[in-house]
Amino acid sequence: MEEKLLEINHLKSYFFTRKGVSPAVDDVSLAVPKGKIVGIVGESGCGKSMTAKSIMDLLKYPGRIVEGEILLDGKDLTKLSARERRRVRGEDVSMIFQEPMTSLNPVVKVGKQVREAILTHQKVDRAEAKRRVLEVFRQVGISEPEKRYECYPHELSGGLRQRVMIAMAMVCRPKLMIADEPTTALDVTIEAQILKLIKTLCETTGMSCLLISHNLGVIAQMCDYVYVMYAGKIVEQGDVFTLFDHPRHPYTQGLLASIIHLDEQRERLSTIPGMVPNLMHLPEGCAFCNRCGQAMDCCRTKKPELYDLGGGHAFRCFLPGESEASHA
């Protein structure tokens, strides 16, 4: 087994609202090995972003981590003091967000914003910090870095802004980068550039990446290992080839079946019926039972556990593990 950089064990992050408790992250365990790209895929509200925010200590009231541990290099982040956590955040772990426009302060020059990231975490003088910023700008493929350093966010295009965000995340040479839907707001041709950049950065610096996306294409192109989340739980996990070639959970199968392939003309798309459930009114049994074509009686009453198929592949379902016939 590879060395794990990040290990999350039985993490539960709940939102305590007036109307009830919403289990946004419900008993999630996952691991990110050193130097690998691990993906979390799921639909809106499945808890993938909340998992990331729990790691970064960014959960907002009324949400908080209820239990579980988040181990980074063996150190439990949930047990650290606020000061320690602040240090980890940004220095060891950094995050890039979906919307590069709102993640940057519109009235501060981008170079200065990236420089701030260094100055908060490391004791270097301003000139040195600026030199490092320009170096990172070059590394993330920003052309004419000196000129861009003096730009305000609105003067940059969406793709460049996302590059600045990545530069800001990279500038302290983190061990782990969390990318929450990094390309969703970008055009396809720009998306391809940014994805390639993230991959190259991971390969050249040995950094790990936790990539969160709803786009199975992005996941397939980027990740080594994939977790599929549904209604706050991990429903299937496995390495990228196993998962895409032999999906076992009906939800994963449904997601993969609804992808439109460019090389074939189809009359109808296969769909997963129904909607993503409201976390506050989850069915008693398996959260997916209402939408599942293969649901059995036990699915409606009992919550399934992760069923280990070996080789790191596991899925959360009652479907008999032995009978491979139904989805060969």
- In the complex, which residues of this chain contact other proteins (CB under 8 A)? 19, 43-44, 157-160, 187-193, 195-196, 214-223, 240-241, 244, 254-256, 258-263, 265-266, 268-278, 281, 290-291
Cis peptide leading into residue 250 (ω within 30°): no
Shortest distance, CB of residue 35 to other proteins, whole angstroms? 17
Closer to other proteins at the Cβ: 122 or 193? 193
Helix (H) or strand (E) holding 141: none
Phi, psi of 174 (to 5 degrees): -70, 160
Residue 224: what are its φ and ψ, rounded to 5°? -95, -35
3-class secondary-structure state, position 178: strand
Closest distance to other proteins from the beta carbon of 208 (Å): 18
Nearer to other proteins, 60 or 266 (CB): 266
| Beta bridge pairs of residue 95 | 178
User: Under a CB-based contact definition with an 8 Å cutoff, are residues 44 and 276 in contact?
Assistant: yes
Compute the least distance from the CB of residue 32 to other proteins, in Å.
18
For other proteins, give the closer residue by CB, 116 or 283.
283
- For residue 326, give the DSSP letter: G
Nearest approach in angstroms of CB 158 to other proteins is 8
Minimum Å gap between C-beta 58 and other proteins is 23
**CB-nearer residue toward other proteins: 35 or 158:** 158
Which residues is 4 bridged to in the sheet? Answer: 33
Cβ-contact 31, 20 below 8 angstroms: no
**174 vs 277, which CB is nearer to other proteins?**
277
